[in-house]
Amino acid sequence: MTVPAEANVCIVGAGAAGLMAAVAAGRSLKATGASGTIVALDGAKTLGAKILVAGGGRCNVTHWRVTESEYAVNRPAVRSVLRRFGADETVHFFDQLGVELKREETGKLFPVTDSARTVLNALLRAVQDAGASIVHPARVTGVSRSEQGFTVTGAWGSMRAARVILATGGMALPRSGSDGAGYEFARTLGHSLTPAIRPALVPLTLPSGHWITELSGLTIHAELVLRGPTGKRLVHFANSTLCTHFGLSGPSVLDISRYLLDARDREPGTTLILNWMPGESADAADAWLLAAKGRGLLTVLRERLPERLARAILVQARLAPDATVQQTPREARRTLVELLVATSLPIEGDRGFTHAEVTAGGVPIEEVDLGSMESLACPGLSLCGEVLDVDGRIGGFNFQWAWATGWIAGQAAARAIAAIPQPTA
């Protein structure tokens, strides 16, 4: 299909937010009885790449309980959006499309088929049923506005549109088609961008040869704590933690990454601490060691830690595996306790957008009307999804943001079109 010369609503980007916007706009327009064309343009050859890879190919669609506290920034704004379209609305929406969701122990919701393809196919069908269309690959290279409306351009030509919904995503996983082009469109249409646009939910790197990198492949339930320069606990996450050849990954690391990267810029002296025995304090760990009289330290540590890790920690503490706690000088015991509950991580950096799941930063949410997602800087333009400066933790919260804002933007754009007097025959 070629790009039409005109549309009432042009949606730039057909990822999670753009597809949702297309469904909502199409359905709303039908409901009002007005006529109009809704066209989504996407630069990708294969649609929905992120939906397909999400949740390890199972697509963690949302979470059974979504509140603003799961998001890192702009919580009052997030609350306002979730009130309009929260997790219940997402479950109901997908249920109507025939996609039944199941809740897992973690609270995450997945399709009962355990296949992300079910989610994508249902969305594509819903776009069609709503009377909207998707053209791809049709990469957009410019969006401009004049008194007559918008002109959307690409190597394929140009399209005029009364309204534009910007759903271009952020910069995570750029090979999926989301490479940050949307930020430039927003900027040229009058928006500002946050001073930093960084990878979030991203693995972290340690110096080459750091002892944790030698534990590559080891997964453990651990706690990560971000401490401010005064030692104050700023944020913490306890979850599965994976040691890798480059550093650390796994849900706890991904969740804390955006806070670490952000704090590093704003608060030099911030440190990331790893507790291999989540919930245990230094005093409790010390008491536990002291209670293990007469037994070798490795035997004792193995009660709570995998043997590889226990051995590595003893090497770091310069203690022999068969030494007993009585044979261990007080200072060495203190070092051991510190390694167990407060290993300091000299994080070098992150694995970048290629390995990130989302983007922290973007168009400030204060620049849109939360009831319609319409731009306050450029009338007729709406923004939804990750292009906005909102990111959540792992668990389905980022898709929830995309579904919710896409829905609101699509509905409002269609209502605005329906309100424009239709030409009489």
Instruction: Encode 238-258 in three state secondary structure.
Output: EEEEEECCCEEECHHHHHHHH
Among 7, 10, 11, 14, binds ligand FAD (CB under 6 A): 14
Asked whether position 362 contacts ligand FAD by CB under 6 A, the answer is no
Q: How far is the CB of 337 from ligand FAD (least distance, A)?
A: 37
Asked whether position 182 contacts ligand FAD by CB under 6 A, the answer is yes
Asked whether position 178 contacts ligand FAD by CB under 6 A, the answer is yes
* 39 DSSP β-pair partners: 10, 133
List binders of ligand FAD among 41-60 (CB under 6 A).
41-44, 50, 53-55, 59-60
Tokens of 165: 């919904």
* Identity at 259, one-letter amino acid code: Y
The counts of H helices and E strands in the chain are: 12, 21
- Residue with Cβ nearer ligand FAD (55 or 278): 55
Q: Which residue is nearest to ligand FAD (CB)?
A: 15
Closest CA to 312 of 299, 331, 292, 298: 298
- Residue with Cβ nearer ligand FAD (305 or 394): 394
* Identity at 409, one-letter amino acid code: A
Asked whether position 342 contacts ligand FAD by CB under 6 A, the answer is no
Tell me the window of 8-16, 118-126, 213-221, 235-243 that interacts with ligand FAD (CB under 6 A).
8-16
Tell me the window of 161-169, 214-222, 254-262, 282-290 that interacts with ligand FAD (CB under 6 A).
161-169
Measured distance CA(374)–CA(377) in Å, rounded: 9
Asked whether position 172 contacts ligand FAD by CB under 6 A, the answer is yes
* 145 DSSP β-pair partners: 150
Give the relative orientation of helices 16-32 and 397-419 as an angle to the nearest 10 degrees. Answer: 30
List binders of ligand FAD among 207-246 (CB under 6 A).
none
Task: Identify the helix (H) or strand (E) that includes residue 102.
Answer: strand 101-103
- Residue with Cβ nearer ligand FAD (181 or 378): 181
Q: How far is CA 10 from the centre of its chain?
A: 25
* Helix, coil or strand: residue 175: helix
- Residue with Cβ nearer ligand FAD (110 or 288): 110
* DSSP secondary structure letter of residue 212: G
List binders of ligand FAD among 387-416 (CB under 6 A).
396-399, 402
Closest CA to 158 of 149, 166, 167: 149
Asked whether position 351 contacts ligand FAD by CB under 6 A, the answer is no
Residues of this chain that interact with ligand FAD (CB under 6 A) are: 12-18, 41-44, 50, 53-55, 59-60, 139-140, 167-169, 172-173, 177-178, 181-182, 357-358, 385-386, 396-399, 402
